[in-house]
Structure 1
Amino acid sequence: MMAENTRAEEDGRRGVIVVGHDGSSGAERALKEALEIAEGAGAYVEIVRAWTIDTAPPGTLFAEGTVAPVAEVDDAVRARLEKDVAALVAQHPSVSVVCRATLGHASEVLLDAAETARMLVVGSRGRGGFAALLLGSVSDQCVRHARCPVLVVPPSSRGPGRRGRP
């Protein structure tokens, strides 16, 4: 019986499309693509936001002079994520969506979340790093190390002389 439950969980996990979302415009485009793919594939979407001490929402790390438990900060980050993606998710009512927030470096968190996923979707550039780079460090690490297909969604405009999707 235990093997059957594990198999069912694995089969269900293979139906998930994991998408990274850091609040950037690139993450919004990645989420839109993930939702559209999930709609056509009958998959569900897991939206993942990694956080660190530097990126946690203001006021969530300390309360009354003590450090907040990681689970409480996860909850606050997840609530912010749910708010950030609500409008776009509402445009795809047939897609089941789960939001998750996890303490850690974005590429490690995403790679872990997508370990047995059907696909991982990320924007080509997030909030950090050097704007001139075509591929950010997180998307680069995901492409190099993911165990599933990775879709890197480019920005809406890729500059003069290049083709970009509207």
Structure 2
Amino acid sequence: MVGHRGRGGFTGMLLGSVGVALAAHATCPTVVVRRGSEGGTAAGRVVVGVDGSHEGELALEFAFDHASAYGAGLTALHVYDRPAENHSLAEVVGRWTEKYPDVNARYHGVLGRAAEALVDHSQGALLLAVGSRGRGGFTGMLLGSVSQAAIRHATCPVAVVK
């Protein structure tokens, strides 16, 4: 777990270079907590982005494990930009609900942009879990644009899972 920024010279930055670097280079899940994003209690849920990637599957496992450990519900989001992309989220999430029957899981397909939808759904969440990178075009990147946007703008702690 790392804070959002340290004692560096750019005090107005939303996220410090250490937080970004750790999320990008760590070989284990990294949780970034920004000031004011300590997690909510209104929904009492863990939110996770699901995109069909290997990293997305790891994020889903992390989210279910976290929800189970904290007695929280879980909301899985599959964000797509074309209606034809809304594939079987129920099947993907269903595998994990069998393993974690104590977790009240919901799943939603959302038409829009992944980063915006996940940040919007982070409002009041206990945690937002995302893969380190998804199905985007630059496979050599260490941290994808959605995970970067999440750690910079989410209103709750963000777990970047690898």
TM-score, normalization by structure 2: 0.72
SS across alignment from 1:19: strand
- SS of 1:95's partner is coil
The structure richer in helix per residue is: 1
User: 1:138 — aligned with what?
Assistant: 146
Q: Is the 8 A contact 1:20 1:49 kept in 2?
A: yes
Measured in 1, the distance between the counterparts of 2:119 and 2:84 equals: 20
TM-aligned CA deviation for residue 11 of structure 1: 4.1
Is it true that 1:112 corresponds to 2:120 in the alignment? yes
The separation in 2 between residues aligned to 1:107 and 1:20, in whole angstroms, is 9
Aligned residues of 2:79 and 2:112 also touching (Cα < 8 A):
yes
Q: Residue by residue, what CA displacement relative to the aligned partner does 1:33-85 show, whole Å, maximum 9, x if unpaired?
A: 010111110101000011112x733xxxxxxxxxxxxxxxxxxx3x6101122
| Equivalence for 1:85 | 93
Residue identity (%): 41
Q: Gaps (5+ residues) in structure 2?
A: 1-39
Q: Give the paired residue count.
A: 123
Structure 1 residue identity aligned to 2:149: Q
- Counterpart in 2 of 1:30? 59
In structure 2, do the counterparts of structure 1 residues 103 and 148 end up closer, same or farther at CA, with 3 Å as the change threshold? Answer: same
Tell me which residue corresponds to 1:159.
Answer: none
Q: Which runs of 5+ in 1 are unaligned?
A: 1-9, 58-76, 155-166
SS of aligned partner of 2:140? coil
Counterpart-to-counterpart distance in 1, 2:120 and 2:62: 21
Paired amino acid for 2:154: A
1:19 match: 48
Which residue of structure 1 aligns with residue 6 of structure 2?
none
Distance apart, 1:87 and its partner CA: 1.3
From 121, 130, 135, give the equivalent of 1:122. 130
Give the structure 1 partner of residue 111 of structure 2. Answer: 103
What TM-score does the superposition give when structure 1 sets the normalisation length?
0.70
